[in-house]
Amino acid sequence: MLFVFQERWNKWLDALKLDRRQQLNCVVKDDHFYFPRGYYYKYGFLKTRKDLPFRDVQEVRVNTFPISAIVNGNEVIFLRGLERDEVKGLAKRGLIKLTEPADIWSLICEEFLDTDASEAEKRGLMSMLLENGFEEGEIQQIRKRLRSRMLIRTYFSWEWEYYGHEDVMAELWPLSKRKYEWTMEVALRNARRSSHHS
C-alpha cells in the first residue's frame, strides 16, 4: 500500500516539477513566443509583456544555449526550454530566420571551463574574437572582470562543456540595466559590425 502511494506521489511531484519548469520557459504560439510567467530579465523589450511576436524577431540563434532571439538589433532574448526542432519548424514555415554566428560569450568564457585548452586552441579563440570586432586588450579586461566569479562557478559545478551569455548574466548578479546592456553589446558586436559593413 505504501509503495503504491509513494509511486503516485513521485509521479505527481514529477508532473508538478515539469509544469513549473514549463511555466518558467518559453512556449511557441501561433504568431509569437510566449513566456507564461513573464520574462526573467526586466530591462528590455519584455519588461512589461509576456509575448514576443515573430515579426519583431530579426533572427533566432540556434547555436547558443539556450536558443536566443535578437530584437531591435541590440537585445538578446533567451528562449529557454525551446528545442532546435521547434524553431526549425517555424523557420520552414517562414515565420522566423535562423542563424549561427559566432557565439561571442561562449568564446570569451571558454577559458573558465574545467578543461585544459592548448596554446593553439587559445590562439584560435582569440583570433575568432578579433575577427568579430574585439581587441585583445578588451578581451583580457572582460575576462578579468568575470574571472573570479566564473572560476568559483566552475569550482562548484565542474562545468566543462559550455558557458554562454546567460551564464555570464547569472554571475553579474545583482544585474543592473547597465550590466544587462553591456552583456548585450558584447554578445551582438559581430551583428552590429556586419550591419555597418552591408
pLDDT of residue 116: 85
Q: Which of 70, 28, 88 is CA-nearest to residue 36?
A: 28
pLDDT of residue 194: 52
What's 35's DSSP letter?
-
pLDDT of residue 18: 45
Which CATH code for domain 2-99? 2.30.29
pLDDT of residue 16: 44
Q: What are phi and psi of 27, to 5 degrees?
A: -125, 155
Maximum separation of any 2 CA atoms in the chain, in Å:
70
Q: Which of 183, 195, 196 is CA-nearest to residue 76?
A: 183
pLDDT of residue 198: 44
E strands, the chain, are 27-28, 32-34, 51-53, 57-61, 68-71, 75-78, 98-99
Residue type, 99: T
CA atoms within 13 A of residue 155's CA, in its CB half-sphere: 6
Which residue positions in the chain have pLDDT lower than 70? 1-24, 192-198
**Model confidence pLDDT, tens digit, residues 79-88:** 999 999 999 9
Residue type, 25: N
**Model confidence pLDDT, tens digit, residues 95-141:** 999 999 999 999 999 999 988 888 899 999 999 999 999 999 999 99
CB 69 within 8 Å of CB 77: yes
8 in helix, strand or coil?
A: helix
pLDDT of residue 21: 45
The domain ranges of the chain are: 2-99, 104-197
